[in-house]
Amino acid sequence: MDAVEPDVVATKDGVLVVRHENEISGTTDVAEHPEFADRRTTKTIDGASLTGWFTEDFTWEELATLRCRERLPAIRAGSASFDGLQPILRLGDVLELVREASLAQGREIGVVLEIKHATYFAGIGIDLAALVAAALRDADWALPLVIESFEQTVLARLRASGVAATYVYLVEAAGRAADLVARDGTTAPTYRSQITPAGLAVLAGQVDGISVDKRIILAPNKLGRMQGPSPVVADAHAAGLRVFTWTCRPENTFLVGQYRTRGGPAAFGDYEAEWAVIRDASVDGVFVDHADLGVAFFRA
């Protein structure tokens, strides 16, 4: 299935907007708007202190005045050339664009909807699960849908509410899930413990699949040399779970050390060699930033 992956956070008036994070100084021109200068603040999001501007401090009408920027301009200069041209989109806007593209191309294009910081938003009175369910209902969504999050509780709530989707638990290479830390503190399981055979057996009763940081599969050592593939893909399949990985990128800065080549951080390294390890580990799908390269490689 070809799909787009909108990450969603919310405004103060309960509109779901598509942003990589709720802190938007790196992905919009908000810092250039003097009328919003007093909105700059410092917050703790999932245990990390961040200073900037946050979607939950704006109405949708205010956010609609901003324009988007490339998050990694030093690496993605081509994308950065479009800075200032595009508005922020709402989830409903993306759903409509995908529907139109499916009709135009005569094939189903899916949506992989990632919910960001659900526990944090719940703590300030914004229920992302309810907002997502309402947005899908309002869109009368019937195309393929995957819902994913680094937090299991929001996935469980949506599943219990009857939203038809494939539910995927996102797994970091280190740390603990924010929702479990909020509930259990330092006794919360680590992400790593959740992808042991015993942990996967528990997850199999709660989600349809996992999506892991590619470093978990590649298992690089401290010198940046790959030691994988790790057994996590085979173990998850044995537990009945589908396995995805993120994010396959071609630039040197994102590759395991042994696959980096000359030309600097933004140059394309030997990404095909790294991606081959991921492919040969028998993952069920990958997330890529360069869709053309991903399709050409993984479908070859």
Quick: pLDDT tens for 185-227.
999 999 999 999 999 999 999 999 999 999 999 999 988 899 9
DSSP 8-state class, residue 39: G
First-to-last CA distance in the chain?
A: 15
pLDDT of residue 1: 76
Query: What CA–CA distances, in Å, run from 28 to 7, 71, 143?
Result: 15, 9, 30
Domains in the chain, please, with CATH?
1-148 (3.20.20.190)
Extended strands (E) in the chain: 3-4, 7-10, 16-18, 41-45, 48-52, 110-115, 145-149, 166-171, 209-213, 242-248, 285-288
pLDDT of residue 224: 87
In the predicted structure, residue 164 carries a pLDDT above the cut 90? yes
C-beta of residue 60 within 8 angstroms of C-beta of residue 13: yes
Residues in contact with 183: Cβ distance below 8 Å, sequence separation at least 6, in sequence order = none
Residues in contact with 54: Cβ distance below 8 Å, sequence separation at least 6, in sequence order = 22, 23, 24, 39, 41, 43
Quick: pLDDT tens for 98-145.
999 999 999 999 999 999 999 999 999 999 999 999 999 999 999 999
Within 10 angstroms of residue 72's Cβ, the number of other Cβ atoms is 18
Tell which residue, 264, 255, 260, has the closest CA to residue 75. Answer: 264
pTM of the model as a whole: 0.95
C-beta of residue 249 within 8 angstroms of C-beta of residue 289: yes
Q: Higher pLDDT residue, 223 or 48?
A: 48
CA dihedral 179, 60, 83, 293 (to 10 degrees): 50
